[in-house]
């Protein structure tokens, strides 16, 4: 008797679907998409609790959400929906509670998006007052990244032609997205020009050397840009917090680093320094993502675990480091990194603005005709060797 009004509530706007993915068998679709209807359905589903998935339609496509486990935040689910990156047969990991909490920015009618009302949902953070109204859509992000990649190629050609020497230092909180930005910078350019240096812990021999020695060996030659994924600033951060260096070594580092960097500038190197800053909550979300994703588990080091529990122990050295090593010849630039897409676009755009370059003219490339004078069956000659299995 208790379930009858619930079933009646659903009957008006829920119909069964048969998605192609076998795991979605028995799912239901919400044919209506207003916040009130979604919330009503959410309440009913919690009571009935028999449907493994909830699906709803946007632009004549089914979007299905699992009720079993929640690994994504409401904001991520929202971004996935707005970007239209969830195919019909893919179940996104989200709970019915998330669907109920989600305030729709737009609703869809006949495949056309129509503005309905602004979402009242806000990104909470105890550590920053900076908030974004919404996430960048994947389409817009990729279009802007395409333009920036084209500019990076122009920069690469200019750096080689003019034999420039550039160092870019990427520092910041653990899981702040430094590696993601470096990856986007380098994925469309030559590794012979854009060289990434991510040094491991110093060896026993390196510990006996002058502290900066192992970094100096990796400085750029003419026509190179070196991207340091962490740098000599380890001494001002993790080495101080974890007591890998003495107090005297730490204080000497802060005192002489501006002089060391001034020497770099005078030797013809352009030095650019970025600090990536994220909120406490965003760092925790990313750490959890690393823990649950087999592709990212390698990123979760013992130092990451330690930094998670000692947030303010790392905040104070950051403040001291920025204050002591910020100079007119080597200033620090802070990157707000809670939003990965914005951080990547903003950082690459800013990097390009700091290096004066122009588009160089290039000769038109013509391939000409292939020479088939000595033609033979060049596939038969390799047929006797082992080919890898074609599983895909």
* pLDDT above 50 (res 32): no
pTM of the prediction? Answer: 0.67
Of the listed ranges 79-93, 180-194, 261-275, 297-311, the one predicted with least confidence: 79-93
Mean predicted confidence (pLDDT) in 241-254:
96
Percentage of residues in the chain with pLDDT exceeding 90? 60
Q: What is the pLDDT of residue 212?
A: 96
Which SS3 state, helix, strand or coil, does residue 313 take?
helix
Amino acid 42: pLDDT: 43
Sheet arrangement for strand 91-93: 14-16, 28-30, 53-58, 61-66, 91-93
Mean pLDDT of 231-239: 97
Poorest-confidence range of 46-50, 216-220, 308-312? 46-50
pLDDT category at 79 given cuts 50, 70, 90 is: low
Q: In angstroms, what CA-CA distances link 92 with 67, 142, 238, 285?
A: 10, 22, 37, 17
Quote the pLDDT of residue 131.
67
Report the pLDDT value the prediction gives residue 86, as an integer from 0 to 100.
39
* Residue 303: per-residue pLDDT: 85
Bigger pLDDT: 370 or 89? Answer: 370
Residue 84 has pLDDT above 50, yes or no: no
Between residues 51 and 259, which one has the greater pLDDT?
259
Q: Model confidence over 202-221: pLDDT tens digits?
A: 999 999 999 999 999 999 99
Q: Does domain 138-354 match CATH 3.40.50.300?
A: yes
Count of other CB atoms within 10 angstroms of residue 81: 20
Q: Kindly report, residue by residue over 282-292, the tens digit of the pLDDT.
A: 999 999 999 88
Comparing CA positions, the residue from 217, 247, 209, 214 lying closest to residue 232 is 214
What's the pLDDT at 253? 98
φ/ψ region of 362 (left if φ > 0, alpha if ψ in -120 to 50, else beta) reads beta
pLDDT in tens, 165-201: 999 999 999 999 999 999 999 999 999 999 999 999 9
For residue 301, what pLDDT is reported?
A: 86
Residue 107 vs residues 57, 92, 100, 111, 115: alpha-carbon distances, Å: 10, 20, 15, 10, 7
In the chain, what are the domain boundaries?
4-115, 138-354
Distance CA 233, CA 245 (A): 12
* CA separation for the pair 5, 43 (Å, rounded): 12
Query: What share of the chain in percent tops pLDDT 70?
Result: 66
């Amino acid at each position: 008797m208790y379930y009858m009004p619930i079933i009646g509530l659903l009957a008006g706007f829920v119909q069964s679907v048969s998605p192609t993915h076998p795991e979605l068998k028995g799912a239901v679709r919400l044919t209506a998409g207003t916040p009130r209807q979604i919330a009503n359905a959410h309440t009913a589903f919690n009571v009935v609790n028999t449907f493994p998935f909830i699906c709803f339609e946007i632009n004549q496509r089914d979007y299905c959400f699992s009720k079993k486990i929640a690994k994504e935040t409401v904001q991520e689910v929202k971004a996935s929906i707005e970007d239209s990156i969830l195919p019909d047969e893919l179940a996104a990991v989200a709970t019915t509670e998330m669907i109920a909490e989600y305030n729709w920015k737009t609703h869809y009618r006949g495949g056309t998006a129509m503005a309905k009302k602004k979402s009242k949902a806000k990104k909470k953070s105890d550590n920053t007052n900076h908030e974004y109204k919404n996430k960048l859509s994947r389409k817009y992000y990729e279009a802007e990244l395409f333009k920036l990649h084209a500019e990076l190629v122009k920069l690469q050609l200019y750096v080689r032609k003019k034999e420039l020497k550039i160092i870019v230092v990427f520092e910041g909180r653990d899981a702040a997205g430094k590696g993601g930005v470096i990856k986007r910078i380098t994925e469309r350019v030559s590794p012979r020009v854009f060289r990434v240096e991510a040094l491991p812990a110093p060896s026993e021999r390196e510990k006996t050397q002058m502290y900066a020695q192992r970094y100096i060996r990796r400085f750029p030659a003419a026509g190179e840009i070196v991207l340091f994924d962490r740098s000599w600033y380890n001494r001002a951060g993790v080495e101080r917090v974890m007591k890998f260096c003495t107090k005297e070594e730490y204080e000497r580092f802060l005192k002489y680093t501006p002089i060391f960097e001034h020497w770099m500038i005078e030797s013809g190197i352009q030095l650019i320094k970025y600090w990536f800053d994220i909120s406490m909550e965003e760092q925790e979300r990313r750490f959890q993502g690393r823990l649950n994703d087999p592709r990212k588990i390698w990123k979760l080091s013992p130092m990451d675990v330690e930094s998670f529990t000692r947030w303010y122990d790392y905040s104070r050295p950051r403040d001291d480091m920025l204050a002591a090593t910020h100079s007119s010849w080597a200033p620090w630039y802070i990157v707000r990194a809670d939003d990965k897409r914005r951080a990547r676009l903003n950082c690459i755009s800013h990097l390009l603005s700091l290096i004066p370059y122009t588009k160089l003219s290039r000769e038109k490339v013509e391939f000409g005709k292939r020479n088939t004078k000595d033609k033979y069956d060049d596939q038969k000659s390799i047929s006797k060797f082992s080919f890898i299995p074609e599983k895909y």
